[in-house]
């Protein structure tokens, strides 16, 4: 498990509570905003979204987490979870009691740098999200998102529901749908069924970088 990569044999003896492996299906919830944070999770496979709500009912997906990422890192610093964590694509997770990490963090220095760099990555991603997915025309933003979701090796890409994509980008479901449909008509995306596409990354890159 990546979070514990630097730990050594003796460190693990400090773990007195069980670390469970759990499976969650798409749509299931890991935790809700405001709940007392008991666990953090590392993702072995699948995708988890973190959502925040506004008083006016508006919602925004603020991050996507995937293999190797940690869900609920904030429990180490804050008493409650700060987002809604929902599974977007069937996931295998390790559920780690918060005090296990706290204890390890206190008693061994080997976790410190891991934790710092996890936080760093979270900030980096948040900043990227802001500059890439919340700046520019919705067409550019959709293009950037698709690129970000693409597997660069085989030029392939799994998308999510138009509603979720919209909540990631801060635009409506319909706008997202129209743009993706347009990409399909233009050949920038080729539908392979089940929200699985072949992506013309070069063309998408062009669209991402033009400001109109």
Partner DNA sequence: AGCGGGCATTGCGAAATATCAATTTGATCT
Partner DNA sequence: AGATCAAATTGATATTTCGCAATGCCCGCT
Binding to DNA by residue 177, rule CB under 7 A? yes
27 vs 42: CA distance, rounded Å: 18
Binding to DNA by residue 49, rule CB under 7 A? no
Strand ranges, E, within 25-154: 29-31, 39-53, 59-65, 70-71, 84-97, 150-151
Binding to its own copies by residue 201, rule CB under 8 A? no
Among the listed residues 82, 88, 91, 180, the single contact to its own copies using CB under 8 A: 82
Structure tokens that stand for 94 in this block: 């390790």
Per-residue contact string for residues 98-137; x = within reach of DNA by CB under 7 A: ---------------------------------------x
Binding to its own copies by residue 138, rule CB under 8 A? no
What are all long-range contacts of 198-207, with beta carbons under 8 Å and residues at least 24 apart? 198/155, 198/156, 198/157, 199/146, 199/147, 199/150, 199/155, 199/156, 199/157, 200/155, 201/147, 201/150, 201/152, 201/155, 204/143, 204/146, 204/147, 205/143, 205/147, 207/139, 207/140, 207/143
We find the least distance from the C-beta atom of residue 92 to its own copies, in angstroms, to be 25
Binding to its own copies by residue 1, rule CB under 8 A? no
Per CB under 7 A, residues contacting DNA are: 137-139, 161-163, 170-175, 177-178, 180-182, 184-185, 191, 193-195, 211-212
Per CB under 8 A, residues contacting its own copies are: 52-60, 62-63, 74, 76-78, 82-83, 105, 112, 115-117, 119-120, 122-124, 126-127, 129-132, 134-136, 140, 170, 208-211
């Amino acid at each position: 498990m990546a979070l514990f990569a630097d730990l050594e044999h003796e460190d693990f003896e400090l773990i007195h509570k069980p670390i469970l492996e759990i499976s969650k299906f798409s749509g299931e919830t890991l935790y809700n905003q405001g709940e007392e944070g008991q666990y953090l999770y590392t993702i072995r496979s699948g995708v988890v979204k973190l959502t925040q709500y506004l008083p006016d009912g508006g919602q925004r997906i603020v991050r996507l987490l995937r293999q190797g990422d940690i869900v609920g890192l904030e429990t180490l610093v804050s008493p409650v979870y700060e987002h809604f964590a929902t599974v977007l694509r069937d996931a295998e997770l390790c559920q780690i009691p918060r005090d296990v990490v706290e204890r390890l963090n206190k008693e061994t220095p080997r976790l410190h740098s891991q934790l710092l760099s996890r936080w760093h990555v979270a900030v980096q991603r948040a900043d990227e999200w802001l500059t890439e997915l919340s700046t520019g025309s919705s067409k550019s933003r959709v293009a950037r998102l698709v690129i970000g979701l693409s597997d660069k090796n085989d030029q392939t890409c799994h998308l999510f529901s138009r509603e979720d994509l919209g909540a990631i980008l801060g635009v409506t479901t319909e706008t997202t749908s129209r743009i993706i449909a347009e990409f399909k008509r233009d050949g920038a995306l080729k539908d392979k069924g089940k929200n699985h596409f072949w992506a013309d990354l070069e063309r998408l890159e062009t669209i991402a970088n033009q400001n109109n």
